[in-house]
Amino acid sequence: MIQVRNIFLIFVFFLIVISIPFLEFFSFNLNFTNEKNNLKINFLTVKRLFFLYLIFLLIFSSLIIFIKRISKMSLFDISIILSFIYWVIFKYNEIKKLLNLINFNILKSYDGFFSITFTLLAILLFVFFYKKKKTNFINIFILFFFIINFTFLSSNILMGSNINKKNQIQNFEFENLNIKNLERNNIYLFIIDSMPPIKFADKILKTESKFFLDELRSNNFNYIDNSRSIYGNTALTLGSIFNLKPLKTKNNEFVKTYDQLEYPHLIFPTVLRKKYKSNLEYNLTKLGYNIKWIGSHFSNCYGYNRQYCIDEIDNENILINYEILSFLKKTAFQPIVHNIFNFFNFSIEEKIIFKSNNAISYFERYLEKTGKPAKPTFVLIHHLVSHWPYLVDENCKYEKNPGRINKIGIKKAFECNKKLISNISKKISEIDNQAIVVIQSDHNWELSNLDLSEYGDRNDIFNVIKTNDFCEKFEHNASNNIDTIRMALYCATNTKPLF
């Protein structure tokens, strides 16, 4: 009976130890998610990482049984050693950052190698001194270290979650647009993430976009020059679009941090969760529209609101996906596997990120397959080809150009986007000519973070709109993202726009 109890306690201890890197990962991404941190914690993230958790548990259990059979060590000693090894493996990235702080510029390209070496050295030293221990102090210390870690991280996640829920929805009043007409045209909102305005792109990248703009005009798509976004990042820009107005802050100041928001649930992609509803969703639902969302691997309907899914776009590969790869960045797994995959000419980025970035092509295939939606439909298409990492050539084939400010990668993504936008404008004109279409970026390119005078302000955006005969005279008012989406709602119902 005592032996069974000990085995059970060791198993529980392993569950706690294995959980710690996962809890650290969840805690960081829940508390520090912003436009620079692509990963959002949602149901899809938990589902994918849970499978990895089970694999680790199986590996640990197998190692305990194997070591017990070939050695005379106690189960408790084996569990302590394996727990330390597991913990140190997930400190690889922190060791690497520490080495980068020490200004060894000559050895910087080998920091991964030195990180692995230090990790292995720490494990060997621990095992050496552990085998020479005279008391159970080390066992007790490590036991309490992991339990305290687990308790702290769990409480941090729970408290952070509760804080995030405060003030959400409470006292939120929906804006009820005065639309009484019965006309209902489809609305297609394309967010071309990080797409620069034409004038800056042509000047800096030495591209020529006249033919592109002429082609758009021939399909009744008009480019609105000097357009601006209210905000300079994805979360706030899309949040304000769905709010139909700027996001309210506690002190009526311009938003600099998410903590200032009166209703933090309105930022993207949280705003699209099933339990929340924005002003845009409220009015679309009231007008009888279906709402659909084509996202990317980073944020999509499967992680936030399955009612908004059009078709299966989830990555069914339970081992090779963005969540697991992000989680394993804390270990030496990524550089080792990356080199192995490169040897066999297999690119993880091509298989996962590249395909999911091209939301325009997915929407085009959807239109070709199903035709014009039978019921009035609003579709959000979040397209990331022009967002770093730049993974396309000018013909939209896979080609990696590393670096946030890599002008070659930016140029090829820009040319690819122009082709995709031209194609989808033709397709919409053929299949759903009465649809109201908005094609705009959420913010300017990464170069705008370097020099505003040369590369444009972060809030300067690419903006194309297609309305109808009723609304054509109002298109010049669509010079920012909020006015554009409001006009789209009014134009889709043949109602005079109010800004």
**222 φ, ψ to 5°?**
-115, 130
Q: Write down the pLDDT at residue 50.
A: 85
| Paired tokens of 213 | 């703009």
| Model confidence pLDDT, tens digit, residues 238-297 | 999 999 999 988 877 777 777 788 888 889 988 998 888 999 999 999 999 999 999 887
Distance separating alpha carbons of residues 28 and 39, to the nearest angstrom:
10
Q: What pTM value is reported for the model? A: 0.75
The rounded Cα 166 to chain-centroid distance in angstroms is 24
CA dist., res. 499 & res. 14, Å (int): 59
Tokens of 288: 């009888």
56 CB-contact burial (10 Å; exposed 0-12 / middle 13-18 / buried 19+): middle
What is the per-residue pLDDT for 117?
75
pLDDT score at 171: 65
**What gap in Å lies between CA 280 and CA 276, rounded to an integer?**
12
Burial call 59-82: b when 16+ CB within 10 Å, e when fewer: ebeebbeebeeeeeeebebbbbbb
The predicted pLDDT at position 285 comes to 96
What pLDDT is attached to residue 300? 80
Assess contact for 262 and 293: CB atoms under 8 A.
no
Segments of the chain with pLDDT less than 50: 32-39, 163-167, 312-315
- pLDDT for 314: 47
What pLDDT is recorded for position 24?
Answer: 85
- Give residue 182's Cα distance to chain centre: 37
Could you tell me which residues come within 8 angstroms of residue 455 by beta carbon, excluding any fewer than 6 positions away?
Answer: 200, 204, 444, 445, 447, 448
pLDDT for res 312: 41
Tokens of 405: 């400010």
